[in-house]
Amino acid sequence: MERRSFFAAAGATALAASLLTGKAQAQSMGTVDAKLAELGVEVKGVSAPVAAYVGWRKVGNMVYIAGQVPRDANGPIIGKLGDNMTTEQGYAAARACGVSLLGELKAACDGDLDRVKQCVQIQGLVNSTDDYTEQHLVVNGTSELFRDIWGEPGLAARAAVGTNSLPLGIACEVLAVLR
């Protein structure tokens, strides 16, 4: 084989391999990011813990994410369900917690949310009055977000608990375990 033909063939092979690799990476990387974009969800960087804890911890193939505070453009979402917040506002707050959970999860997965196989557990704490009984509908803000991203594997064993107070007066706090 002539030298020029050899290098042309080698170059074509390298180009084809690089295109195939890029195609494979495009299919395996960014699927969740594409879904987030479709849903209009922007995952931001993680916030520094405000006390003595870490935002997440990996144990084997499990990621345990610390309770996340709901935030919007104005800062923490403050309120008490059944008093000065509606269930719909609480749902939006829990969804904001879900977005914060995704930020921590992304950090734990080295930026690749496609590594997530399943949401195992979600625990939601809802700042509510004694007679408020729709905590489960509030925590759906996180559960439905995860379901919309991962489908059935995004649904988790779950608890939605009412409490008379949460740190900073926040509306809710959600923590999760994923693999």
Let me know whether 12 and 96 are in one domain. no
Let me know whether 82 and 137 are in one domain. yes
**HSE-CB of 158 using CA atoms within 13 angstroms:** 21
Q: CA-to-CA distance for 133 and 129, rounded, in angstroms? A: 9
Region 159-166 average pLDDT: 98
* C-alpha torsion angle, residues 108, 110, 111, 115 (rounded to 10): -80
The more confident residue out of 134 and 47 is 134
**HSE-CB of 85 using CA atoms within 13 angstroms:** 25
* C-alpha torsion angle, residues 25, 26, 29, 32 (rounded to 10): -160
Let me know whether 64 and 143 are in one domain. yes
The confidence score (pLDDT) of residue 48 equals 85
The confidence score (pLDDT) of residue 2 equals 55
177, 68, 85: which is closest to 125 by C-alpha? 68
Let me know whether 170 and 119 are in one domain. yes
Let me know whether 66 and 25 are in one domain. no
The confidence score (pLDDT) of residue 28 equals 40
What is the rounded average pLDDT for all residues in the chain?
A: 88
CATH of the domain at 120: 3.30.1330.40
156, 141, 151, 66: which is closest to 103 by C-alpha? 66
Residue 7 has a CB neighbour count (10 Å cut-off) of 11
Split into its structural domains, the chain has a count of 2
The confidence score (pLDDT) of residue 26 equals 38
Q: Which residue has the tokens 């995952």?
A: 43
Domain with 18, as residue range(s), is 3-32
Q: Which amino acid is at 148?
A: D
The confidence score (pLDDT) of residue 49 equals 86
160, 31, 45: which is closest to 102 by C-alpha? 45
For 96-126, how does the pLDDT look when each residue is reduced to its tens digit (9 = 90+)? Answer: 999 999 999 999 999 999 999 999 999 999 9
151: left (phi over 0), alpha (psi -120 to 50) or beta: left
**Which residues lie below 8 Å from residue 32, measured CB to CB, with a gap of 6+?**
113, 114, 116, 149, 150
